[in-house]
């Protein structure tokens, strides 16, 4: 619409390509669960609790825990790539 108007659109194309969400597994039995601790206080407690529950109730086979450097900083691509290779599902958690 803006192109039909005598104004400039102040927004710029976003960098990168759109990312489609990964396919969701039907169940968690025998799956590898990844947990990304963002390093907020008590995020580790929340994630441990979630991991225990998912193991007990849904049969998660193995849990892989990784940590961000700081909650306010992005996780580096290398860390995300490594998790993507190793785990079937991942959960990122906030603490606080």
Partner 1 sequence: MDAVDEFEFFLEKDWSDGLPVVTPTEVRLARMLAGTRRSADELIGTVPPAGGRATVRSLAIHALMAGCKPEYLPVVLGGMALILRDEFNLNGVQGTMHGVAPLMIVNGPYARKIGLHGGNGCFGPGFRANASIGRAIRLMLFNLGGAMPGAGSATIFATPLRYTACVTENSEHSPWESLAVSRGYSPEDNVITCAMVESPRLTFDDTNRDPQRLLTGIADSMTAMGSWNMHTRANMVVAMSPEHATLCTRAGMGRADVHHRLCELAGRKVRDLKGGGNWRRERALALPIEVDPDDDECFIPAIKNPQDLHLIVAGGWGPCTAICHGWAGVSRSVHGIYEEFV
Interface with partner 1, residue 72, by CB under 8 A: yes
| Residue window 28-67: x/- pattern of binding to partner 1, with contact defined by CB under 8 A | -------------x--------------------------
- Give the binding range for partner 1 (CB under 8 A) out of 4-12, 29-37, 60-68, 80-88: 4-12
Interface with partner 1, residue 27, by CB under 8 A: no
DSSP assignment of 20-64, as one string?
PPPPPPS--TTPEEEEEE---TTHHHHHHHHHHHHHHHH---EEE
Q: Is 42 left (phi over 0), alpha (psi -120 to 50) or beta?
A: left
Using CB under 8 A, list all residues that contact partner 1.
4-8, 10-16, 41, 70-74
């Amino acid at each position: 619409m803006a192109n039909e108007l005598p104004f400039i659109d102040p927004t710029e194309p976003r960098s990168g390509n759109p990312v489609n969400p990964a396919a969701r597994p039907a169940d968690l039995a025998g799956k590898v669960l990844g947990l990304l601790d963002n390093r907020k206080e008590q995020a580790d407690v929340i994630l441990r609790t979630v991991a225990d529950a998912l193991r007990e109730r849904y049969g998660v086979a193995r849990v892989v825990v990784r940590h961000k450097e700081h909650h306010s900083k992005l996780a580096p691509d290398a860390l995300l790539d490594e998790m993507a290779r190793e785990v079937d599902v991942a959960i990122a958690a906030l603490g606080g």
